[in-house]
């Protein structure tokens, strides 16, 4: 102490005067953050728990593989037609939205100064916020009134919902591709398109798969646009157009509102099936992305 004072230095002891208070403050803040995390996780956990608890009793092989009974009042039967419709429309919508969305994102990242880049980005943002029922109404007005209800128009409405999600999340992913890699490619005499296909897209592929999956998961859960485009079906429909189509969320929506206990049970099982489907697709996509991307 005296040595310090003589040298005009402040001792560590004095300088650390508030150390204990700081430690408590730090603990308090960590606690608050933990609480916030808990608050955020509780609704998610509750939803999962309620769906599993209510859906599991009605979930069985018959539910997964058969369509409606003759009577909706009685237990039995299942949502196989809804699963087919969901995968059919979801698959078509993915084929429409993912290539177009990734192409738009490549445009936005490779030509950021192009005069169309600003408008494209702006409208993607606006479209992300458009309520999905409007998308249904839009497709109803321009397609359904000419073509009728069906798989294709349903897929179009889902694709419109997916597109802005794919564009914006893919843009974020593509922006993460290091500029040094692009420079390395150019320095080897690659043309712009060779750099995009040879370096940018392969480097970003795991992230692009995740971005696409986000959009697919969102689309598979959509109900409102399908009410106005796919309408409904009582059995498995493989036609592209000409008859109505159904999907898991449509069936859940109808039967959950219904008066019959058996129907409500099926709706719970349908919700569980939808959730499991999205989870499964996400896991598969992640595994695929990790394998293809090959980051050390």
Partner 1 sequence: MSGITIDVQPMVEEPSRDVTRAGSAAGSDQPAEMDAVFELEGVSIHYGDFQAVRDISLRIARNQISALIGPSGCGKSTVLRSLNRMNDLVPSARLDGTIRYNGEDIYDPAIDPVEVRRRIGMVFQKPNPFPKSIYDNVAFGPRLNKFRGNLDELVERSLRRAALWDEVKDKLGNNGLSLSGGQQQRLCIARAIAVEPDVILMDEPCSALDPIATLRIEELMHELKSNYTIVIVTHNMQQAARASDVTAFLTMGEDRAGYLVEMAPTATLFTRPASKLTEDYITGRFG
Residues that bind partner 1 (CB under 8 A): 113, 178, 180-181, 183-191, 194, 198-199, 202-203, 293-296
- Least Å distance, CB 202 to partner 1, is 7
- Least Å distance, CB 213 to partner 1, is 21
Q: Which of 39/187 has CB closer to partner 1? A: 187
232 C-beta neighbours (distance < 10 Å), count: 18
Q: Which of 192/257 has CB closer to partner 1? A: 192
- Least Å distance, CB 194 to partner 1, is 6
Q: Which one-letter DSSP state was computed for residue 200?
A: I
Q: Which one-letter DSSP state was computed for residue 295?
A: -
- Least Å distance, CB 112 to partner 1, is 10
Q: Which of 110/260 has CB closer to partner 1? A: 110
Token look-up 């169309």 returns 116
What is the C-alpha separation between 105 and 212, in angstroms, rounded? 12
What is the C-alpha separation between 65 and 255, in angstroms, rounded? 18
Tokens, residue 228: 């106005």
Q: Which of 27/183 has CB closer to partner 1? A: 183
- Least Å distance, CB 294 to partner 1, is 6
- Least Å distance, CB 183 to partner 1, is 7
| The CA-based dihedral angle spanning residues 180, 184, 186, 191, taken in that order and rounded to the nearest 10 degrees | -100
Q: Which of 21/113 has CB closer to partner 1? A: 113
State the DSSP string of 85-141.
HHHHHHHHHHHHHHHHHHHHHHHHHH-TTSTTHHHHHHHHHHHHHS-HHHHHHHHII
Q: Which of 86/203 has CB closer to partner 1? A: 203
Nearest to 191 by CA among 93, 110, 96, 271: 110
What is the C-alpha separation between 4 and 124, in angstroms, rounded? 64
């Amino acid at each position: 102490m005296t040595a310090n004072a003589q040298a005009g230095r402040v001792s560590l002891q004095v300088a650390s005067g508030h150390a204990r208070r700081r430690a408590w403050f730090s603990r308090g803040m960590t606690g608050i953050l933990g609480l916030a995390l808990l608050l955020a996780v509780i609704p998610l956990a509750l939803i999962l728990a309620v769906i599993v608890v209510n859906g599991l009793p009605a979930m069985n092989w018959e539910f997964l593989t058969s369509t409606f009974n003759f009577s909706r009042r009685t237990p039995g039967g299942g949502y196989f037609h809804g699963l087919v419709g969901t995968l059919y429309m979801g698959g078509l919508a993915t084929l429409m939205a993912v290539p177009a969305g990734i192409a738009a994102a490549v445009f936005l990242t490779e030509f950021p100064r192009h005069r169309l880049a600003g408008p494209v980005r702006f409208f993607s943002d606006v479209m992300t916020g458009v309520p999905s029922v409007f998308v249904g109404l839009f497709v109803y007005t321009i397609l359904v009134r000419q073509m009728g209800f069906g798989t294709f128009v349903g897929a179009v409405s889902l694709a419109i919902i997916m597109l802005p999600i794919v564009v914006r999340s893919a843009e974020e992913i593509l922006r993460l591709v290091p500029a040094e890699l692009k420079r390395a490619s150019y320095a080897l005499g690659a043309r712009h398109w060779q750099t995009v296909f040879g370096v940018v897209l392969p480097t970003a592929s795991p992230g692009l798969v995740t971005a696409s999956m986000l959009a697919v998961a969102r689309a598979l859960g959509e109900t409102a646009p399908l009410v106005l485009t796919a309408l409904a079906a009582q059995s498995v429909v493989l036609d592209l157009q000409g008859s109505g189509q159904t999907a898991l969320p449509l069936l859940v929506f109808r039967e959950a509102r219904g008066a019959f206990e058996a129907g409500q049970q099926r709706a719970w099982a349908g919700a569980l099936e939808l959730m499991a489907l999205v989870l499964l697709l996400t896991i598969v996509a992640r595994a695929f992305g990790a394998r293809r991307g090959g980051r050390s």
